[in-house]
Amino acid sequence: MKFGVIIFPGSNCDHDAWWVISQVARQPVTFLWHDSPELQGCDAIVVPGGFAYGDYLRTGAIARFSPVMESVRKFAAAGGLVLGICNGFQILCEAGLLPGALMRNAGLKYVCKPVHLRVESTNTPYTQQLTKGEVLEIPIGHMEGNYFCDEATLAELKNQDRIVFRYCTPSGEITPDANPNGSLENIAGICSEGRNVLGMMPHPERASEPELGMTDGAKVFQSLVAAMEKQLATSR
């Protein structure tokens, strides 16, 4: 089992993701350079947060054309596991790996604070060890986290159980006040039709150790590792 964390010019959460995978999840992990198409035999790819290519034009618009993303598209199409966090979620939408778009926050302000998420689906490798309806506390830090898609896409996401996380109150209620960025129906994370690609705006890598004040984020990585171990055991 081997993880790869992509580094783009402007990434600033790449080392955080590397640390959690190597020191908390205790798994082999390597960095992948944006300008190289080589995925180095990785079994799961993390597209981290930050400001890839300075967020010029719009978030993720330039990163989608980098050589590594062409390889990630092929990897995902073959069933490979891809986790996009914050800017990574934006990049995955721009690259067509996930539907919809991340727009400017309602209020046009950068928002950085802990939020609560309700687990809407456990039918993904990233949430299969969680409980539907479980509330997680994980921080956000973004200017463009306002998820939007058209009505047909929203209906498809609902019908296929692909809305994975929603912003909620500490008690798990989905309310307008619990929505930090104006995101459509409080959506905080979605998965691909094949369920192998997950994009989420909150940062689980920033909530994975007691020293950080929050540990719920570690559950996402632990669930992914358990799913990968099961998959590897089955394939032997």
Domain boundaries, the chain: 3-235
Q: Measured between alpha carbons, how far is 228 from 28 in angstroms, rounded to an integer?
A: 13
At residue 210, the pLDDT reads 96
Q: Is 34 a catalytic residue?
A: no
Active site residue: 94, 120, 144, 205, which one?
Answer: 205
Could you name the CATH architecture of 3-235? 3-Layer(aba) Sandwich (3.40)
At residue 236, the pLDDT reads 61
Q: Measured between alpha carbons, how far is 100 from 214 in angstroms, rounded to an integer?
A: 29
Q: Does residue 57 register a pLDDT over 90?
A: no
Residue 233 pLDDT level (bands cut at 50, 70, 90): confident
Is the whole-model pTM more than 0.85? yes
Q: Tokens at residue 154, please? A: 């929203």
At residue 150, the pLDDT reads 98
Active site residue: 86, 93, 168, 191, which one?
Answer: 86
Residue 190 pLDDT level (bands cut at 50, 70, 90): very high
Q: Is 203 a catalytic residue?
A: yes
Beta pairing partners, 83: 46, 198
Beta pairing partners, 135: 118
At residue 117, the pLDDT reads 98
Q: Does residue 221 register a pLDDT over 70?
A: yes
Q: Is 173 a catalytic residue?
A: no
Q: Does residue 232 register a pLDDT over 80?
A: no
At residue 235, the pLDDT reads 67
User: pLDDT, tens digit, for every residue of 124-163?
Assistant: 999 999 999 999 999 999 999 999 999 999 999 999 999 9
